[in-house]
Chain A
């Protein structure tokens, strides 16, 4: 089965994870926190959704496991970190472009700008 070519729409969970990893590599809990703050608390991902998406994204080559180390801000347990890959960045950029196009169309139709989370 062909999966996640950069021209197919991403699921909301995948998009949020890519966004969270776009600035730096993070572990699972870190991704969850970042997604929560990115969406201002609107998107709450459970571990099932998070790691299900991570598994599919690793398979599709969008992200990869980078390291296993201790997070100094938490405790002394070693955590697996994930980082975004080149194709992942491309997919994210393509998806954001799609959103921008959508917003442009919406603006042309003179819809209120504040009803969109991802403005241009």
Chain B
């Protein structure tokens, strides 16, 4: 059949997507999922219906499932007591490094830049102020993540406390993302028509916006899963 190569191509793409599943899940279901996808493709072809919209839907559906499985996996892994020490150390190191950057090199760098180009110095100072404002939700989020890990260690991962921490992380990430977008817009407006090269700064801002939206999404998914688990537990008790 002429559509066989097309199906094979979709199947290969799907197999690549399946690699994003957590390893135990992938080893267990990767092959059969690929097979089922293949079966569904063939069925579509037999019914003489387009493959593209079906593939798009399935890729989307499977991506959602992948996010879900990874979140579950993360929750489950972190339920082993004491296993969070490494993560806590990492968070502490990030916090110390960020704090050090904020206190020492950042003001010095900004002062140097401002001395080099006195007429656009206000832009650079604005950047410094923005960086300090952004660091507040950043540190709050780190602190909440640290607290969350402590709850996990105390076996209180499924409590209202951790839901609260996750919610705060989500809000912090949303705040950072929003401020970043506002900052980029302001930067573009301020430097409009001046021929300043702001591409690097805009790219950095976009990257951080993307990173914070990923954090917000993961925090939201985890928050919902934890809340669900708590509700289930409550239902079981009553």
* Chain A bound to chain B: yes
Interface residues in chain A, defined as those with a beta carbon under 8 Å from any beta carbon in chain B:
1-2, 5, 7-8, 27-29, 32, 46-52, 54-55, 74, 77, 79-80
Whether A8 contacts B236 in the complex (CB less than 8 A), given A29-B40, A46-B57, A48-B64, comes out as yes
Is A49's CB under 8 angstroms from B236's CB? no
Q: Which of A5, A28, A52 contacts B35, CB < 8 Å? A: A28
Residue B28 is within 8 A (CB to CB) of chain A in the complex: yes
Is A46's CB under 8 angstroms from B61's CB? yes
Is A47's CB under 8 angstroms from B236's CB? no
Residues of chain A within 8 A (CB-CB) of B35 are 28-29, 77, 79
Residues of chain A within 8 A (CB-CB) of B25 are 55
Is A49's CB under 8 angstroms from B69's CB? no
- Total count of chain B residues near the partner, CB < 8 A: 27
Is B57's CB under 8 angstroms from A8's CB? no
Is A29's CB under 8 angstroms from B64's CB? no
Is B32's CB under 8 angstroms from A46's CB? no
Residues of chain A within 8 A (CB-CB) of B68 are 52
Residues of chain A within 8 A (CB-CB) of B39 are 29, 74
Is B28's CB under 8 angstroms from A47's CB? no
Residues of chain A within 8 A (CB-CB) of B119 are none
CA distance A33 to B135 in the complex (A): 52
Residues of chain A within 8 A (CB-CB) of B40 are 29, 32, 47
Could you write out 20 A-B pairs with CB less than 8 Å apart? Answer: A1-B158, A5-B236, A7-B236, A8-B232, A8-B235, A27-B32, A27-B36, A28-B35, A46-B62, A47-B33, A47-B37, A47-B58, A47-B61, A47-B65, A48-B58, A48-B62, A51-B29, A51-B32, A55-B25, A77-B35
Among B39, B40, B57, B79, which residue has the most Cβ atoms of chain A within 10 A?
A: B39
The residue on B at minimum CB distance from A53 is B65
Whether A47 contacts B62 in the complex (CB less than 8 A), given A28-B32, A74-B39, comes out as yes
Residue B229 is within 8 A (CB to CB) of chain A in the complex: yes
Q: Which of B32, B66, B79, B232 contacts A48, CB < 8 Å? A: B66
Q: Which of B183-238 contact A (CB under 8 A)?
A: 229, 232-233, 235-236
Q: Distance (Å) between the CB of A79 and the closest chain B CB?
A: 7
Q: Distance (Å) between the CB of A7 and the closest chain B CB?
A: 8
Which 6 pairs across A and B sit closest by C-beta, in order of nearness?
A: A48-B65, A46-B61, A48-B62, A29-B39, A28-B36, A51-B29
The residue on A at minimum CB distance from B68 is A52
